[in-house]
Amino acid sequence: MRNFSSRIALVIALMAIFGLTDWSNHSALAMNLPKRLAGKEYHPKMESVLGMLREKYIEGRAVAETFSRKRQIPFHDDEITVVLVPPENEDSSFIDQAGLRSWGAKVEAVSPHLLRASVPVSNLDKIADKVAGISYIRLPLTPLPAEVRSEGVELINALAYQNSSYQGQNTKVAIIDLGFERLTAAQANGDIPYTIIGKDFTGGGLSNGTTHGTDMAEIVHDVAPEAQLYLIKIADEVDLENAKDYCVSEGVDIINHSWGWFNTNFTDGTGLVCSIADDARSRGILWVNAAGNWAEKHYQGLFTDGDNDNWHDFSPGDQTNIIQTSSGEDIYIYLTWNDWPTTSQDYDLYLFVLLRSDLVPIADSTNRQTGTQPPAESIVLQNASPNTYYIAIYRYNATEDKELKIFSFSHSLQYQTPAHSLSAPADAAGVVAVAAIDQANWQTGPQEDYSSQGPTTDGRTKPDISGPTNVATFTSGRQGGTSGATPHVTGAASLLLSRYPGVASDQIEVILERCAVDMGNPGKDSIYGSGRLNLSLNTPPILSWTGEPNYVSDGLNPDRGNTSTQFIYRVMYTDLDNDAPKNDYPKVHILKEGSEISDSPLAMDEVDTGDTTYTDGKLYTYTKTDLATGMDYSYYFEAKDQSNAKAGGAPTIETSGPDRVLSANLLSLIVYPNPFSPAKGHTQIIFDRLTPDATIRIFNLSGEEVFREDVSWQISWPWNVENNQGETVAKGIYIYLVTNSVGEKKIGKIAVIK
């Protein structure tokens, strides 16, 4: 049995002997982790900590209550709150609620994809076995704050907007948070209006739980004082999905979520929490999210086992990653690996302390991964004793060395990976992810050391923008983190919407990023995003795809062709201040093999010369022919307005295409090497500069067909000098005949020399 929790009482009693020391003095290089661990005994459909709780409950209620408090498990009156997950690609209606109730469960909340219920601990195994439609039973996911507070109105130039009567009027802003304590006091002090609309999805009361949401509402109100605020309280991902649907039904324009969710994906924008945010964006809501405070509390690396004992090496010979705690601190450790959404690669998470000269396990997470469970493990210890703790990862049953990821919420790690340290849903494609700069260093930086960094593990640049932090609020004074940076961006988006009513959320994000003051490396980067938030009354123009047939998402038609094809580029220029483009703009840049062709960039022509309204978008076009043979063309668009403000938007990002450009005819066909001689190192004969379709036939001098191949959209095709049976042809002279669908033909000789 691998549940070491029975030793916790002894370990805690001895832990006071050991004080905090430097990591260098606690390296596991000279320490041995257990060589063998017992098999897993918990139900495969249940998170392992639930199996532990059920064991403790069998020992006695008092034992179970002590364990649940230590691991922060919601256990009351012999019942526990859990989330039931349906099988992949099924929704929550797939779960048999009647069967669930027959085992004493009470359904608390249902969202489209999940069900939350209070269930008797004694019946956990029976529910897992007997109730249809359940793939997995786990504790509710609880987000953790990227915490901070406000006074950055002047820093982001919001006063210029407010003084021009743009104050967030006619916009709806939702703060989705875990509580709004001291809301009444903040309202009485004038920091939050009495006109707020509250919605509590937890049943615990809007003004209970935490002051965090109240702080966020204060900052938004400071920046956008006339925005209609929706204060929405949630507790878990079931509530989050329902809160999103509520925002859609209420016509909310912007959502502020200054929280991060762990173990929902591999920082690649996938998973339920990111899908919730992306769905809001697809329905016209701008979702603004804290990037997270995890740059120093994140580790990522490929599983490595130098001594073949199944323990991961964080560095050569070192099998643990150290954290150090002070008195009364909670420990939160999350492990996942790159095999989402379900996996049969089974890794486990352990937490050790040093007693005398031995590493002793104090907590573990040993969920089964047999193909239907997520790649996720977590350890929570409440009110941990001050000590040095050692995190270890064990390969229980894995045939592949997976990329591993650890988040430590409360404590910096010995081995850190700042890159890819965003928490969901900041990594979602549809989310504006906000990094943090201390307000005292606003003009110069640097970014806060803790502020999470990108890119996402699928290669997208994140965060998107930086906001000021360590700012004052009435409710909580002054603190730091990306939480406080986020509502500044939310409030700025509200100001933009009050100035440009009806503008799409995509355009609001473009304006926010284009107005930002670039910091760090030139251009958008994975530390500052597009730079520090900066509202400007001179709004830069926006380039967008035209949305026409054949030009919906790439501005090019056709997407492939040959040297005589006319490639037509089209783009839409929009300026919300109705500023015309600067002379000879917009332009299209055309690149081959990464370098611009000789006459690029190319000035584009107006489609409608009589249209002088730019607020609703104006089309520009350019036609290009005679592109040389090649497969690596790319292009992007550029525009500036009359005041030289540069346009942003998707078309300004380099795009691949045309897919490939082939010869218009067979006149330029070449065949090489000819003669073919293996003695000279030749291995293939290349037919180069083919047309979009071609049939290649090889004959011997007797007129017998030796080989035939039909090719499509290949610039070149290699012949391995074999016949149709896969045998190497004899030396001699061969005739090739190349034809295509337009009736062209090319005939030539090939000499094969042995």
Which tokens in the block code for residue 371?
């193909």
The predicted structure's pLDDT at residue 65:
86
Coil, strand or helix at 433 = strand
Angle among Cα 327, 328, 331 to the nearest 5 degrees reads: 105
Q: Are 123 and 58 in contact (CB under 8 A)?
A: no
Distance (Å, whole) CA 617 – CA 422: 35
CATH number at residue 691: 2.60.40.3080
* Judgement on whether residues 334 and 395 belong to the same structural domain of the protein: yes
- The model's confidence at residue 647, banded by pLDDT at 50, 70 and 90, is very high
The predicted structure's pLDDT at residue 312:
96
The predicted structure's pLDDT at residue 561:
83
Tell me the pLDDT of the chain averaged across its residues: 89
- For residue 655, the tally of other CB atoms under 10 A from its CB is 16
- For residue 263, the tally of other CB atoms under 10 A from its CB is 21
On whether residue 207 sits in a domain, the answer given is yes
- For residue 747, the tally of other CB atoms under 10 A from its CB is 11
On whether residue 524 sits in a domain, the answer given is no
What are the distances in angstroms from CA 627 to CA 112, 217, 345, 568, 669?
Answer: 51, 55, 49, 12, 17
Report the run of H or E that residue 12 belongs to, with start and end.
helix 8-15
- Higher-pLDDT residue of 13 and 118 is 118
At 210-247, the pLDDT tens digits run 999 999 999 999 999 999 999 999 999 999 999 999 99
Which tokens in the block code for residue 649?
């938007």
Which tokens in the block code for residue 650?
């998707």
The predicted structure's pLDDT at residue 150:
42
Q: Which pairs count as long-range contacts for 119-124, CB under 8 Å and 24+ apart, including other chains?
A: 119/79, 119/80, 119/82, 120/78, 120/79, 121/53, 121/54, 121/57, 121/64, 121/75, 121/78, 121/79, 121/80, 122/54, 122/57, 122/78, 124/43, 124/46, 124/50, 124/51, 124/54, 124/80, 124/82
What are the distances in angstroms from CA 47 to CA 8, 160, 340?
Answer: 20, 53, 16
Q: Are 148 and 480 in contact (CB under 8 A)?
A: yes
On whether residue 694 sits in a domain, the answer given is yes
What is the domain range of residue 737?
666-752
Distance (Å, whole) CA 177 – CA 355: 41
The predicted structure's pLDDT at residue 524:
92
The predicted structure's pLDDT at residue 274:
97
- The model's confidence at residue 7, banded by pLDDT at 50, 70 and 90, is very low
Q: Are 436 and 421 in contact (CB under 8 A)?
A: no
At 394-412, the pLDDT tens digits run 999 999 999 999 999 989 9
Which tokens in the block code for residue 205?
């009361």
Residue with tokens 């230590």: 70
- Higher-pLDDT residue of 71 and 323 is 323
* Judgement on whether residues 652 and 673 belong to the same structural domain of the protein: no
Coil, strand or helix at 494 = helix
Q: Are 236 and 116 in contact (CB under 8 A)?
A: yes
Q: Which pairs count as long-range contacts for 550-556, CB under 8 Å and 24+ apart, including other chains?
A: 554/655, 554/657, 555/635, 555/637, 555/651, 555/655, 556/635, 556/655, 556/657, 556/658
Distance (Å, whole) CA 550 – CA 552: 6
Report the DSSP beta bridge partners of residue 529.
525
- The model's confidence at residue 689, banded by pLDDT at 50, 70 and 90, is confident
CATH number at residue 366: 2.60.120.380
Residue with tokens 């009513």: 501
Q: Residue 127: left (phi > 0), alpha (psi -120 to 50), or beta?
A: alpha
Beta-strand relationship, 286-290 and 172-177: unpaired
CATH number at residue 573: 2.60.40.10
Which tokens in the block code for residue 738?
């190349």
At 116-145, the pLDDT tens digits run 999 999 899 999 999 999 999 999 888 876
Report the DSSP beta bridge partners of residue 684.
none
The predicted structure's pLDDT at residue 249:
97
Q: Are 248 and 280 in contact (CB under 8 A)?
A: yes
On whether residue 402 sits in a domain, the answer given is yes
At 160-212, the pLDDT tens digits run 999 999 999 999 999 999 999 999 999 998 899 999 999 999 999 999 989 99
The DSSP code for 647 is P
* Judgement on whether residues 21 and 102 belong to the same structural domain of the protein: no
Distance (Å, whole) CA 295 – CA 426: 14
* Judgement on whether residues 280 and 426 belong to the same structural domain of the protein: yes
pTM of structure: 0.77
CATH number at residue 215: 3.40.50.200
* Judgement on whether residues 647 and 673 belong to the same structural domain of the protein: no
The predicted structure's pLDDT at residue 5:
39
- Higher-pLDDT residue of 16 and 185 is 185
Buried b / exposed e across 182-215, counting CB within 10 Å, b at 16+? bbeebbeeebbeeebeebbbbeeebbebbbbbbb
Coil, strand or helix at 480 = coil
Q: Are 699 and 737 in contact (CB under 8 A)?
A: yes
Distance (Å, whole) CA 308 – CA 395: 10
The closest of 16, 423, 183, 521 to 435, measured between CA atoms, is 423
- Sign of the C-alpha dihedral, residues 702, 706, 709, 715? negative
* pLDDT more than 70, % of the chain: 93
Average pLDDT on 13-34 reads 46
Of 618, 646, 662, the residue that ends a domain is 662
On whether residue 67 sits in a domain, the answer given is no
Is the model's pLDDT at 375 over the cut of 60? Answer: yes
* Judgement on whether residues 380 and 300 belong to the same structural domain of the protein: yes
Of 362, 377, 408, the residue that ends a domain is 408
Distance (Å, whole) CA 165 – CA 156: 16
Coil, strand or helix at 687 = strand
What are the distances in angstroms from CA 561 to CA 201, 450, 569, 670, 718?
Answer: 55, 49, 14, 20, 21
User: What amino acid occupies position 346?
Assistant: D
Count the domains in the chain: 5
Average pLDDT on 384-396 reads 94
CB-neighbour burial class of residue 125 (10 A; exposed 0-12, middle 13-18, buried 19+): middle
The predicted structure's pLDDT at residue 173:
98
* Judgement on whether residues 437 and 391 belong to the same structural domain of the protein: no
The predicted structure's pLDDT at residue 151:
54
The predicted structure's pLDDT at residue 157:
87
On whether residue 535 sits in a domain, the answer given is no
At 63-82, the pLDDT tens digits run 888 888 888 888 888 899 99
* Judgement on whether residues 582 and 646 belong to the same structural domain of the protein: yes
Residue with tokens 């012999």: 78
* Judgement on whether residues 89 and 151 belong to the same structural domain of the protein: no
Which tokens in the block code for residue 143?
């987000």
The DSSP code for 673 is S
Supply the Cα-derived Rg of the chain in whole angstroms: 31
- For residue 750, the tally of other CB atoms under 10 A from its CB is 20
On whether residue 48 sits in a domain, the answer given is no
Q: Are 171 and 227 in contact (CB under 8 A)?
A: yes
* Judgement on whether residues 707 and 650 belong to the same structural domain of the protein: no
Is the model's pLDDT at 716 over the cut of 50? Answer: yes
* Judgement on whether residues 324 and 310 belong to the same structural domain of the protein: yes
How many angstroms separate the most distant Cα atoms in the chain? 101
Distance (Å, whole) CA 688 – CA 66: 75
At 507-528, the pLDDT tens digits run 899 899 988 999 999 889 999 9
Distance (Å, whole) CA 274 – CA 425: 5
On whether residue 60 sits in a domain, the answer given is no
* Judgement on whether residues 574 and 657 belong to the same structural domain of the protein: yes
Which tokens in the block code for residue 561?
């062709």
What are the distances in angstroms from CA 394 to CA 8, 211, 334, 340, 405?
Answer: 20, 38, 14, 19, 13
Of 408, 437, 457, the residue that ends a domain is 408
The closest of 415, 451, 455, 410 to 434, measured between CA atoms, is 451
